[in-house]
Amino acid sequence: MKACKAFREWQSEVNFLGRLSHPNLVKLLGYCWEDQELLLVSQFMQKGSLENHLFRRVSSSVEPLSWDLRLKIVIGAARGLSFLHTSEKQIIYRDFKASNILLDGNFNAKISDFGLAKLGPSGGNSHVTTRIMGTYGYAAPEYIATGHLYVKSDVYGFGVVLLEILTGLRALDTKRPNGQHNLVDWAKPLLSNKKKLQTIMDAWMEGQYSSKVALQTAQLTLKCFEPKPRSRPSMKEVTEVLERIEAMRIKPKESK
C-alpha cells in the first residue's frame, strides 16, 4: 500500500513539475524509476525550508528571519500558489505548509513537493471530491469534514503559514499550554485587535514593523480563514494585498 502511495505521489510530482515553470516553483531537473527506486532531481535550494528558519532550535546556527525577509518569502509563495490557481488547468496544491516552501541563496521562495497536487474542478463544478490527505493543522476544515476540495482550500492553508510567519509558532504543537495546541484556534480571536495581536507577534521581529502593517497582515490572515471557501480571497487578491503591505515600508514609531 505504501509503495502504491509513493508511486502515485512520485508520478504526480513528475506530471506537474515536468510541465510547469514559474520563478516561485521548484524546477524539476530529472527523474528516474529503476528497480522499484523512485527518484526526483530538483534544483538545489541553499537556504533550505521556511520551516527550518521559522522554527529553528535554540542551538541552531540559522539566523531568525527579519520582518522584511518573511514578507518577501510569503509574497513569493503567494505568487507561486496564484500561478497554480490561474493556470489553464487549475491546480489545487493541497499540502501548503512551511516545510514545502524552499528558499534559494537570496531567500526567494519556491513551492516544492507536488505529490498531493490535484487538478481543480471542471464541468461547472465548484469542487472535487477526493480522499482526505494533507497535513493536519494546515488542511481547510471543509476538506477535512467532507472530502470536498476547493481551489480556495489552498487559501486556508496559506493563511495558516501567514499566521506562523506572524507568530513564529508552529500550526500544531502539543508542548504549548492547553488551549494553545492548535495555533489557528488559539490565535484567530486575537488577530483583529491591535493590542492583543502584539502579544502573539514573534518577539524576534520587535521594532521591525509598524502596528498598522502588522494589523493589515493579520486582517488578511483572518480573511483566509473564512469558513465558506467562496468568502475567502483568491490567491491573486492575497498577493496584491501583500505587495501593497510590502510597498508601505512604514517604520515603527520610536519609543519615547
- Which H or E run includes 126? none
Cα gap 44→50, rounded to integer Å: 15
41-72 pLDDT, tens digit per residue, is 556 577 989 999 998 754 466 778 999 999 99
Q: How far apart are CA 72 and CA 60, in angstroms?
A: 22
| Structural domain spans, the chain | 45-248
Q: Any residues with CB less than 8 A from the CB of 155 and at least 6 apart, and which?
A: 224, 229, 232, 233, 234, 235, 238
Q: Which residues of 199-225 are buried (b: 16+ CB within 10 A; e: fewer)?
A: ebbbeebeebbeeebbbbbbebbeebb
CA gap 172, 138 in Å, rounded: 9
Does 255 score more than 70 pLDDT?
Answer: no
Hey, which bits of 63-199 come out as E strands? 91-92, 101-103, 109-111, 118-119, 128-129, 148-149
**What's the whole-number mean pLDDT along residues 225-232?**
97
Q: Which fold has domain 45-248?
A: Transferase(Phosphotransferase); domain 1 (1.10.510)
| Cβ-contact 117, 134 below 8 angstroms | no
Residue 235 has pLDDT above 90, yes or no: yes
* Per-residue pLDDT tens digits for 88-113: 888 899 899 999 999 999 999 999 87
Query: Which residue spans within 48-201 are E strands per DSSP?
Result: 48-49, 91-92, 101-103, 109-111, 118-119, 128-129, 148-149
Residue 248's CB is within 10 A of a number of other CB atoms, namely: 12
Cα–Cα dist 172/165, whole Å: 14
Measured in whole angstroms, the distance separating CA 242 from the mean position of its chain's CA atoms is 14
State the Cα–Cα distance between residues 129 and 98, nearest whole angstrom. Answer: 25
Which residues on neighbouring strands pair with residue 33, listed in sequence order? 38
pLDDT at 251 over 80: no
Distance, CA of 58 to CA of 45 (rounded, Å): 23
Give the whole-angstrom CA distance, residue 225 versus residue 159: 7
pLDDT for 162 beyond 50: yes
| Residue positions annotated with a catalytic role | 95
Residue 127 pLDDT exceeds 50: yes
Are the beta carbons of 150 and 229 closer than 8 angstroms? yes
- List, for residues 183-199, the tens digit of each pLDDT value: 999 999 999 999 999 99
**155: which 3 cell numbers?**
487559501
144/29 Cα distance (integer angstroms): 34
